[in-house]
Amino acid sequence: MPLENKKVSLLLRCWYNRVKKINLKNIMRVPIRKPGKYTHEKADPHITQKKYEDLKYKLEKIKKHTRPPLIDEVKRLALMGDFSDNAAYSIAKGRLRGVNQKIIEIEDLLKRSQVIRASQNEKVQLGNYVTIEINGKQKKYQILGSTETDPSAGVISHNSPIGFALMAHKVGDIIEVRTKDKIVKYKILKID
């Protein structure tokens, strides 16, 4: 064996041994954002039947209409060659990764969800409409889970200060809610 071939053979063995030791997880790193304050909190599982049906429809739409074209796009761009120089491939792969993450989140929420079934009761429960009096003015709120709140439409969360204070109280009860600088009194007039 000529000297040149021995050198090449030795270089190839060294390169191969080095490659075996490389941790493949470090080659393709996904950018990781710093976790926020509420990153590890699970979404409130209390949802209405309408929200449950909307989530099922959205999941089906993503799986049947949004994801298949993205998969085809990633396959098409993968055929263009070197992945390190293929920016379009990286962008398409990122979009597909985002859609897959959305599917996982919706499936998890549907799996953990507890559908709110409002019942006529003496005490305030999830799903009830509550009419309250504040400083001589009447307001009507519906108490739902955190994922469906809309204070401007009168829908508040059972985790909000007012919603939390109203839970398990009866008509005629006066509830005090502490804000930053004062205490506000609410009187329950009606529960629907």
Angstrom distance (rounded) from CA 124 to CA 191: 7
Side chain identity at 25, as an amino acid letter?
K
| CATH architecture of residue range(s) 43-115 | Orthogonal Bundle (1.10)
Work out the average pLDDT over 9-26: 54
Count the helices and strands in the chain (H runs, E runs): 5, 7
Strands 46-47 and 114-115: parallel
pLDDT at 24: 46
In the predicted model, what is the mean pLDDT of the chain? 85
Closest residue by Cα to residue 191 from 129, 141, 134, 145: 129
Work out the average pLDDT over 93-112: 94
pLDDT at 157: 93
CATH of region 129-191, choose from 3.40.50.2300, 3.10.50.30, 3.30.70.360, 3.40.1500.10:
3.10.50.30
Q: What is the pLDDT confidence band of residue 179, given thresholds at 50, 70 and 90?
A: confident
Q: Which of 9-13, 23-27, 107-111 has the lowest mean pLDDT?
A: 23-27
Give me the residue spans of the domains in the chain: 43-115, 129-191
Work out the average pLDDT over 67-92: 88
Q: What is the pTM of this model?
A: 0.70
Q: Do domains 43-115 and 129-191 have the same CATH topology?
A: no
